[in-house]
Structure 1
């Protein structure tokens, strides 16, 4: 990547000016020349000997894991309450009654994340690296998927909604123009706000200049045969196959840059 500020290579002590290509190591807050391979780095041990540095293993996470756990927790709590209140008929009541909508929403959300996560994992390569279900520190929020590719970082929110996504533009001569995201007749504009916040979280974690894209991916929406994808306020709205094509597109980021950005985000955003 290209550095925002000047630095010194931790390996050879060469001066690296701002905008120079280099590798930023977030854990130690140091930089190194792109010619120095991190996998071949060594460190000093007692007696003056050297040994290979420990390889930094990245946990890519499990798609939909936190949503699935929340669904199971709510389901189990309801069943426990019913059995406590109705010792004899609890099992029958559970079998004949339906879960609350607030509980099934977690199941639906988890299914959408799991489905998209499976498709994303099929793209994994040196230039398409993935993170799933990442917790945003000091909040209860999470990011469904992050893809680090040759064309930049994609912050992806997966949604399993029915209906056709479309953009409604309101306003004009006498009042500001406003874009609203609708899925069928359902106003989903707040989803765009959510993705933009997630994009800013990711941007703040990177001290390097890489493109960051916000994405809303509707996995079971009623998309038209021709066209359909669009962008609103910088957030791409599309379906899985269209997303996969964009993630696999050729870009300017080399595989070592992709790996470094992936590692930085994996450590800063732990699995949820």
Structure 2
């Protein structure tokens, strides 16, 4: 009984070995210019091992791919040869053709089906962005890894495919997979779009100003809309500074991330790398910068922590979109501050005045080629990269009118201030000239 049971297994192993050898030899003789990534003779593999292997070929002639070159994997059940899905990526001098396991999508689908959205009974930490999740927060529990992730991080990254190790090259940034069709181009999104929407929404509750309020230059902004309005002014100023960059730089503004309503002020890609810029409008304030904190007007802020979090989040999303490790450097751009004192500069966050941005970016050493920069630019322009729904577009005309009203009120206040300061001098002049008057 045992000998008869082992005989089919041995015959299947022999048949698998012969089929593997025939497949390799036929692929070599059919496609011109195709050579194996390893010149050593392949060792015999069992039928159970073949579906888990990955064959890597270097194709020096792209016409071989266009001619319909395909690869095959062996079915471990029946021993018949069948085509396997393939991915074509840029790899130095030629093209790299890699096959994926046929069951990788099924395992990924099963893993996503095992996730559950629930309210946390205990405090946790997001596996993807490392944010704290207090007890009672709605989050996603991953049963397979027994970890949690926040709703902003969206679905988990696809399971990595098994592949033969290939030495890293300078052109390690791959373009997004061809099946991802962009549905939104963030290049068309105006700067400060998200905060403009919030400012106008908060301003809707503002009562109409009286004639006296207009005469004396009372600001039309409400206490709720003023922080959003000032944030929008800061982002618009930083965007104006970024317009000074050359054509080799790519910038997107007000990038929506996840489904929690958060956004990133500016994402910049160029020869010098990838950067996130957090705009901070502190008009007339004294800013004190140290390695671990930033004080504005003597009060602590979370500027450094937020900038680091945004950079980590963007790095994770771009790595997922480009299939290559992406390093993102955070920048804090301070607008309209009266004074900035640097006690100690942070090591991982660059703190700059807004007018220093363009020159500072252009002075960074080159780390990406033109092709790599274009690939990253396509990734940041695609809204699918950020895992967010199509954002609400701001009413730029309404915001322009609000901005003009605020500027007009400011001018009136200045006129009144100058008039009040001039009154004592006018009275003194009147006293001096009184004896000379005819009456």
Normalised TM-score (structure 2) = 0.45
On the 8 A contact 1:147/1:247 being kept in 2, the answer is: no
On the 8 A contact 1:152/1:212 being kept in 2, the answer is: yes
Aligned to 2:410: none
Q: Any unmatched runs of 5+ in structure 1?
A: 1-5, 31-53, 83-89, 170-178
Distance verdict in 2 for CA 1:243–1:213, change over 3 Å: same
Distance verdict in 2 for CA 1:180–1:228, change over 3 Å: closer
- Between the aligned partners of 1:150 and 1:10, the Cα distance in structure 2 is 21
Match of 1:197 among 288, 302, 309: 309
Aligned to 1:132: 253
Match of 2:174 among 24, 37, 54: 24
| Displacement after TM superposition at 1:76 (Å) | 1.9
Distance verdict in 2 for CA 1:29–1:23, change over 3 Å: farther
- Between the aligned partners of 1:56 and 1:74, the Cα distance in structure 2 is 30
Give deviations 1:144-198, integer Å, cap 9, x for gaps. Answer: 00111212111000011132322357xxxxxxxxx2211231211x121111111
Determine if the alignment matches structure 1 residue 185 to structure 2 residue 307. no
Give deviations 1:178-237, integer Å, cap 9, x for gaps. Answer: x2211231211x12111111111111112323431111110111246xx85963261111
Aligned to 2:241: 119
Q: Which has the greater radius of gyration?
A: 2
- Between the aligned partners of 1:264 and 1:139, the Cα distance in structure 2 is 21
Distance verdict in 2 for CA 1:220–1:101, change over 3 Å: same
On the 8 A contact 1:71/1:106 being kept in 2, the answer is: yes
Aligned to 1:157: 278
On the 8 A contact 1:145/1:156 being kept in 2, the answer is: yes
| Displacement after TM superposition at 1:132 (Å) | 0.4
Q: Which residues of 2 match residues 204-223 of structure 1 at below 5 A?
A: 204-205=316-317, 206=319, 207-223=323-339
| Displacement after TM superposition at 1:133 (Å) | 0.4
On the 8 A contact 1:180/1:187 being kept in 2, the answer is: yes
Greater relative contact order, per chain length (Cα 8 Å cut-off, separation 6+)? 1
Match of 1:106 among 222, 228, 236: 228
On the 8 A contact 2:271/2:369 being kept in 1, the answer is: yes
On the 8 A contact 1:229/1:237 being kept in 2, the answer is: no
Match of 2:199 among 59, 67, 71: 71
CA-based RMSD of the aligned residues comes to 3.3
Give deviations 1:124-148, integer Å, cap 9, x for gaps. Answer: 412x110100001122111000111
- Between the aligned partners of 1:138 and 1:122, the Cα distance in structure 2 is 32
Distance verdict in 2 for CA 1:152–1:183, change over 3 Å: same
Aligned to 2:368: 253
Give deviations 1:94-144, integer Å, cap 9, x for gaps. Answer: 856753323111111001101110110221412x11010000112211100
Q: Which residues of 2 match residues 77-88 of structure 1 at below 5 A?
A: 77-79=205-207
Report the secondary structure of 1:109's partner residue: helix
Aligned to 2:355: 241
Normalised TM-score (structure 1) = 0.69
On the 8 A contact 1:230/1:237 being kept in 2, the answer is: no
- Between the aligned partners of 2:244 and 2:175, the Cα distance in structure 1 is 28
Structure with more of its chain in helix, by fraction: 2
Aligned to 1:167: 289
| Displacement after TM superposition at 1:238 (Å) | 1.1
Report the secondary structure of 1:9's partner residue: strand
Q: Any unmatched runs of 5+ in structure 2?
A: 1-54, 57-86, 99-165, 392-439
On the 8 A contact 1:124/1:130 being kept in 2, the answer is: no
Report the secondary structure of 1:218's partner residue: strand
